[in-house]
């Protein structure tokens, strides 16, 4: 059923109105819309917001549904990578089952679009991607899931990974991933040449994890920009994390931001509290498309996270010292419409003609809904109710 009416709601926290969805798209927004036989949902005065966009997560990693994972791993990135491979093997984690649980929890919180990085390494091989792609297919009318082939254990430092990445793209991964060409892979030229060539070969965009801080990150970012320019890939490249944009050198950062904007490179942030991070307002003012994500949730990397993009909007607000209502609204946009624009997928919007992706959430104002990450009353994907009162209607395995 892709026709419905949401009655008695406040679109974007504005005046009360009804929303009619017809054939999966918003057909009408206004007062007192008369039903024409379609199902009617009463929002009881709650806000209607566009569907939430989880633009950076790892659906294959979460340990949701397992007993508590007692974490005593080392703090080095390579410790965590090695530990994760070991636990996955030892516990016999099924990426399909885990991605179903994780995706449906994210839907319960209001997501209608998810971009998931998926580990491609010589141990798990293509099994995680198979699992997440199966989830994407099974949930195709619940949430739009994009997959990124992600060389989590390194590309040049682990023989056989480049072949697997190529196979992953042939299998149907949507985006070519990458990871810290200096910090992890120790070969920035080799790493970046490979992923840009792979993207060109398969005609796919790129989304590269760049945790490298300060000048090292800036160096890698410049090499990414060089290739984006040389291959005319404006609008096709995303840098996730981009911690280096938070380095305390405003002139250096301004130069990078200008060049990112000129090449329409997109930035995905988690607004981390414990590291430098891009200033969201600065990026948006420069015209850069910005998305956000919860990153991995409750996995061997750390115990945090739940898939809630409203809480992520709060974290963006807290990290960026957003106090004004207009600033908090910007943080929300990054977790919804803006995130989809950064992903190059159809952006959810509360306007006639847009896809009927709507989240009904209690709240007095948009900022109020964000800072309390208030209970979700209803989640609607293309006119179909996917979650009610905080619970997904599709059962997770």
Which residues make up the interface to a copy of itself (CB under 8 A)? 67-68, 70-73, 75, 248, 271-275, 298, 301-306, 314-315, 317-321, 323-326, 328, 364-365, 367-368, 371-372
Q: Is the CB of 260 or the CB of 279 nearer to a copy of itself?
A: 279
We find the least distance from the C-beta atom of residue 72 to a copy of itself, in angstroms, to be: 5
CB of 168 closer than 8 Å to CB of 126:
yes
Cα separation of 270 and 199, whole Å?
25
We find the least distance from the C-beta atom of residue 34 to a copy of itself, in angstroms, to be: 32
Cα separation of 210 and 221, whole Å?
8
Sign of CA dihedral 26, 27, 31, 32: negative
Q: Is the CB of 82 or the CB of 231 nearer to a copy of itself?
A: 82
Q: Which long-range contacts (CB under 8 A, 24 or more apart) does 185-192 make?
A: 185/154, 185/155, 185/156, 185/157, 186/156, 186/157, 187/156, 187/157, 188/219, 188/220, 188/223, 189/223, 190/155, 190/156, 191/155, 191/156, 192/220, 192/223, 192/224, 192/227
Q: Is the CB of 203 or the CB of 248 nearer to a copy of itself?
A: 248
We find the least distance from the C-beta atom of residue 363 to a copy of itself, in angstroms, to be: 9
- The pair phi, psi for residue 292, each rounded to 5°, is -140, 160
We find the least distance from the C-beta atom of residue 123 to a copy of itself, in angstroms, to be: 22
We find the least distance from the C-beta atom of residue 73 to a copy of itself, in angstroms, to be: 7
Q: Is the CB of 367 or the CB of 396 nearer to a copy of itself?
A: 367
- How many alpha carbons fall within 13 Å on the CB side of residue 110? 31
Measuring CA to CA, how many Å separate 41 from each of 37, 111, 254, 328?
Answer: 12, 19, 48, 28
Measuring CA to CA, how many Å separate 127 from each of 91, 122, 171, 238?
Answer: 15, 10, 11, 25
Q: Is the CB of 189 or the CB of 323 nearer to a copy of itself?
A: 323
Q: Is the CB of 104 or the CB of 328 nearer to a copy of itself?
A: 328
We find the least distance from the C-beta atom of residue 314 to a copy of itself, in angstroms, to be: 7
We find the least distance from the C-beta atom of residue 82 to a copy of itself, in angstroms, to be: 15
We find the least distance from the C-beta atom of residue 315 to a copy of itself, in angstroms, to be: 7
Cα separation of 267 and 52, whole Å?
17
Q: Is the CB of 190 or the CB of 272 nearer to a copy of itself?
A: 272
Q: Is the CB of 65 or the CB of 235 nearer to a copy of itself?
A: 65
Q: Is the CB of 164 or the CB of 366 nearer to a copy of itself?
A: 366
Measuring CA to CA, how many Å separate 346 from each of 135, 204, 325, 341?
Answer: 20, 17, 26, 7
Measuring CA to CA, how many Å separate 297 from each of 19, 20, 62, 138, 375?
Answer: 33, 35, 6, 21, 19
Question: Which candidate, 62, 42, 18, 59, places its Cα nearest to that of 143?
Answer: 59
CB of 151 closer than 8 Å to CB of 180:
no
| Residue appearing with tokens 């908090």 | 328
We find the least distance from the C-beta atom of residue 319 to a copy of itself, in angstroms, to be: 4
């Amino acid at each position: 059923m892709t026709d419905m009416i949401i009655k008695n709601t406040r679109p974007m926290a504005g005046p009360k109105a009804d929303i009619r969805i017809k054939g999966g798209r918003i057909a009408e927004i206004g007062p007192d819309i008369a039903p024409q036989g379609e199902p009617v949902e009463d929002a009881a005065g709650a806000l209607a917001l566009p569907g939430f966009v989880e633009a950076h997560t790892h659906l294959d990693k979460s340990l949701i549904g397992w007993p508590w994972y007692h974490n005593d791993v080392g703090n080095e990135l390579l410790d965590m990578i090695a530990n994760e491979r070991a636990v996955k093997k030892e516990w016999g984690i099924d990426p399909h089952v885990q991605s179903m649980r994780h995706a449906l929890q994210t839907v319960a919180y209001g997501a209608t679009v998810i971009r998931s990085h998926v580990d491609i390494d010589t141990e798990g091989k293509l099994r995680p991607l198979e699992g997440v792609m199966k989830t994407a297919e099974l949930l195709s009318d619940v949430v739009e899931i994009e997959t990124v082939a992600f060389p989590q254990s390194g590309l040049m430092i682990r023989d056989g990974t480049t072949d697997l990445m190529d196979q992953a793209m042939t299998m149907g991964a949507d985006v070519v991933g990458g990871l810290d060409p200096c910090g992890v892979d120790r070969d920035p030229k080799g790493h970046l040449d490979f992923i840009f060539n792979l993207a060109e070969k398969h005609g796919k965009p790129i989304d590269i994890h760049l945790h490298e801080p300060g000048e090292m990150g800036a160096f890698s970012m410049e090499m990414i920009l060089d290739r984006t320019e040389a291959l005319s890939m404006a609008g096709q490249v995303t840098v996730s994390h981009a911690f280096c944009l938070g380095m305390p050198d405003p002139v250096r950062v301004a130069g990078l931001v200008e060049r990112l904007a000129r090449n329409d490179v997109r930035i995905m942030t988690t607004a981390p509290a414990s590291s430098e991070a891009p200033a969201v307002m600065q990026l948006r003012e420069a015209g850069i498309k910005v998305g956000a994500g919860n990153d991995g949730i409750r996995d061997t990397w750390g115990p945090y996270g739940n898939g809630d993009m409203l809480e992520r909007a709060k974290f963006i607000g807290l990290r960026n010292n957003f106090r004004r209502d207009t600033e908090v609204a910007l943080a929300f946009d990054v977790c919804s419409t803006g995130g989809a624009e950064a992903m190059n997928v159809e952006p959810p919007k509360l306007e006639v003609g847009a896809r009927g992706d709507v989240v009904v959430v209690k709240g007095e104002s948009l900022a109020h809904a964000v800072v309390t990450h208030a209970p979700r009353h209803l989640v609607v994907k293309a006119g179909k109710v996917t979650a009610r009162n905080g619970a997904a209607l599709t059962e997770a395995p």
